[in-house]
Amino acid sequence: MSKTEYPEEILQSLEGYDIDINDFIPGHGKGAKMLLDFNSIKGIEEIEGVIIKGKEIADGIIADVIIKEGVVIEDPVHLCFGVKKQSGTQRIFPRIIAEDNSEVTIQAHCSFPNADGLVHKMFGHFYVGKNCKFTYNETHYHGEKSGALVAPVSYMYIGENSIFENTFNLTQGTPGQVKILLDIYAMENSVIRSNVKAFGKSMGDSIRIRDSVFLEGRNARSVIKMKAAAKDGGEVLMYGITEGNAPRCNGHVECNEIVLGKGSICRARPFIRAIDPTSTVSHEASLGRFPQKWLDEVQSKGLTEEEATQILIEAMLGEK
Amino acid sequence: MLLELKNVTIPTFDQKCLIVNDVSFGVKEKSIHAVIGPNGSGKSTLAYSIMGLSTYKISKGKIFFDGQDITDLNVTERAKLGITLAWQEPARIDGLSVLKYLSLGMRDKTNIKEQAIEALKTVNMKPEKYLDRFIDESLSGGERKRIELAATIAMRPRLIILDEPTAGLDLIVIEDFLNIFNKIRALDMTILLITHREDIGMIADYGTLLWGGDDILTDNFAEVMLRYCAKAGLKAYCKRTLFQGDNACFGEDYIDKIFQEEQSK
C-alpha cells in the first residue's frame, strides 16, 4: 500500500497535532499500524511481537491489537481511524491486550476533516497485564463545521505494578457533539496518569467527558488532569471521578477550565469516594478566567488581554 | 527624567485608606534608581501602579514617561512604550516554554531563538538547558527569577522595574544578580529597583525612601540609605557594616548628625 492509496486529507489533519505523518503511511516508519478510511481497512502492518487483526462489519470495524509478553516496542503503534466522507456512521470495536512485562505506546488518531453529520462511536476494551508500561495517546480532529457526533466508551484494566498513561487531545478544529466515557480499573501498585484536553469553539460544540479511575488494588495511584476551554458559545462538561477502594491507594483529580465569550459554559464535576480508611483521594478545580496575575505578567510584555489569554490557552491545552 | 511621578496617591482597592500618599520623584535615564523602605511601606504597590496594573490605580497625581503623561494608559500600552516589570514571584505556567515566554515581548520577531539565547546568557543561564523547558514548578525559585529577568531583557525596554529581585534567593547568588543588573545597565536600560535589602540597593545610583506610604527623601543612594537607617534606629549596623571599607562615604560626625535629626522628630 502506498501513500497515494490513503486519503491525503486525513494525513494532513494529523499535522496540527505535531505528529510525523510519515509514520502513518504504510511502508514508511518503523511502527506497526492499522489504517481505516470510514469502515474499510486500508492497511495493516504488524511487527515482531505485535499482532494486529481487523474485521469489517456492518457500520464499523473490529480491531484487535496484542502486544506479546515481554515485548518492548520503541516506535508507537499507530491506529488511524479516519473518515474522509462527510456523513455516515462509523463504529469501532478495539480490543487491545498488552501481555505481562510489555512496553508499548499506542497512538490513535480519529480524523474526520469533512465531518458534517458524521457519527463515530467506539466501544473499546483494554487489558494491560502485570509489570507493563502502557501509553495510549488519542488525538481527534473533527473538521471545522462542528459536524461530528463522537461517542467513545472505553474500559481499561491495568494490572499489578503497571504504569498506564492516557492522553486524550481534542483541541484542533471544531469538536461538534462529543460524549466520552472512560473507566479505568487500577490493580495493586499500578500507576495511572490520565490527561484530557478539549476546546469547544462555537455554539455547535458540546463536549462531555467522564474520566473515571477505580483504585481497586493496594497502593494503586492515579492522577486525572482535565483541561478545557470554551469560547463563542461552546460548552464543556467534565466529570473527574476517582474511587479509593483499596488500602493505601492514592488518587487525585484536577480540573481547569477557561470560559471565553458570552454564552460559553464550562462545568466541572469532580466526584471522589474513599471506602478504605487508609486511602487518600483529593480533587481541585478552577473555572472561569485565568488568574489576573498571569494575565498581568504576560500583558507587561506588551500583549493585549486577548492576546495574553490566547497564549495561556495554547500553553494550557498544548502542555505535554 | 525618563520616569517622573508627581504627587501620586494610591488607595486600597476599597478606597478606604491610602497605601501610597502624595509621592513624587524622578528616575534618570540609564541609571539604577532604588526604592527602599520597610515592609508595608508601599514599594511594590508603587511598582505595580507604574506598570499600570488595573488593580493598582492611582487616585491622585500623574505619571510621566519620557515626558508623556501615561497616567491613563493600561499595562499593555505602557509595555509598548518600553516599560516592563520583573515580578517578585513570577507565575509558573504549565505548558509555556521558556523560548515562547522570552519571545512574547520581543519587538523584532525575526531570529527569536538567537535573541532568546542572548537573553539567557545575559542572566548567566545555559540556553541549551532551558530553552525547551516549561516555566512550571520544575524550575527552582532562582531559575524562575533569572528567566523573568531574561524575558524583560529580551523586550529591550527602556525601563525595567525589578520588584524585590533577590527575595528568596541564597546569599551565594546575590553577587551574581548584582552583576546581571550591571549588564542590564550596560545595555542602556534604566532600572527601577524595588528592594528592602540595603546590600542590593548599594548598586543603585539614586534612591527614594518610602516610609508608611510617604516619600521621605530622593537623593544619591548612600544619603537615602543613611536616612533609612536613621529612621529605623540602626546606628551600629550603619557604622560597622553598611558604610565601612569601600562604602565609607560618610564621616562618623555626619552619620551622628543624621541620626540626631531623626531622633528629634
The residues, ordered by sequence, that sit 6+ positions from B167 with a Cβ below 8 Å of its Cβ are: B88, B89
% of chain A beyond a pLDDT of 90:
72
**Least CB-CB distance to A301: which of B53, B104, B134?**
B104
Across the range A32-48, mean pLDDT stands at 90
CATH code for the part of the protein at B3-82+157-221: 3.40.50.300
* B1 grid coordinates: 527624567
Q: Which residues of A touch B109 (CB under 8 A)?
A: none
Select the highest-mean-pLDDT range: A20-34, B189-203, B228-242. B189-203
User: What distance in Å separates the CA atoms of residue B176 and residue B8, rounded to the nearest whole number?
Assistant: 34
Instruction: Please say if the pLDDT value at position A4 is more than 50.
Output: no
Best CA proximity match to B194, nearest among B61, B37, B73: B37
Q: What is the CA radius of gyration of chain A?
A: 20
**pLDDT digits over A259-289, tens only?**
988 899 999 998 999 999 999 999 999 999 8
User: What distance in Å separates the CA atoms of residue A22 and residue A190, rounded to the nearest whole number?
Assistant: 34
* A229 grid coordinates: 476551554
User: What distance in Å separates the CA atoms of residue B105 and residue B116, rounded to the nearest whole number?
Assistant: 11
Best CA proximity match to B177, nearest among B166, B192, B164: B166
* B25 neighbors B145 (Cβ within 8 angstroms): no
> Is some CB atom of chain B closer than 8 A to the CB atom of A302?
yes
User: What distance in Å separates the CA atoms of residue A283 and residue A255, rounded to the nearest whole number?
Assistant: 8
User: What distance in Å separates the CA atoms of residue A142 and residue A55, rounded to the nearest whole number?
Assistant: 24
**pLDDT digits over B42-89, tens only?**
999 999 999 999 888 899 999 999 999 999 999 999 999 999 999 988
**pLDDT digits over A90-124, tens only?**
999 999 999 999 999 999 988 898 999 999 999 99
- Count other Cβ atoms within 10 Å, centred on residue A261: 12
**Least CB-CB distance to A304: which of B76, B84, B85?**
B76
Domain total in chain A: 1
> Is some CB atom of chain A closer than 8 A to the CB atom of B108?
no
A162 vs B57, higher pLDDT:
A162
Mean pLDDT of chain B: 89
**Least CB-CB distance to A301: which of B84, B94, B134?**
B84
- Nearest CA distance, B155 vs chain A (angstrom): 7
Best CA proximity match to A175, nearest among A149, A157, A195, A153: A149
- Nearest CA distance, B122 vs chain A (angstrom): 18
User: Rounded to the nearest 5°, which phi and psi values hold at A84?
Assistant: -85, -35
Which residues span the domain enclosing A248?
A: 3-318
* A15 grid coordinates: 499535522
What residues are paired with A158 via a beta bridge? A128, A186
* B51 neighbors B77 (Cβ within 8 angstroms): no
User: What distance in Å separates the CA atoms of residue A235 and residue B172, rounded to the nearest whole number?
Assistant: 51
- Nearest CA distance, A292 vs chain B (angstrom): 9
Q: Which residues of A touch B104 (CB under 8 A)?
A: 298, 301-303, 311
Residue extents of the structural domains in chain B? 3-82+157-221, 95-154
> Is some CB atom of chain B closer than 8 A to the CB atom of A203?
no
Judged by CB atoms closer than 8 Å, whether chains meet at A301 and B100 is answered as no
- Nearest CA distance, B107 vs chain A (angstrom): 9
> Is some CB atom of chain A closer than 8 A to the CB atom of B81?
no
Q: Which residues of B touch A299 (CB under 8 A)?
A: 75-76, 79
- Nearest CA distance, A302 vs chain B (angstrom): 5
% of chain B beyond a pLDDT of 70:
96
Judged by CB atoms closer than 8 Å, whether chains meet at B76 and A302 is answered as yes
Residue holding cell 516506535?
A: A75
Greatest pairwise CA separation for chain A in angstroms: 59
**Least CB-CB distance to A300: which of B84, B93, B94?**
B84
Judged by CB atoms closer than 8 Å, whether chains meet at B84 and A294 is answered as no
The residue of chain A with its CA nearest to that of B156 is: A301
Its ipTM equals: 0.91
Please give the C-alpha separations between residue A87 and each of A84, A113, B120, B201, B228, in angstroms, as whole numbers: 9, 11, 52, 69, 76
Judged by CB atoms closer than 8 Å, whether chains meet at A300 and B85 is answered as yes
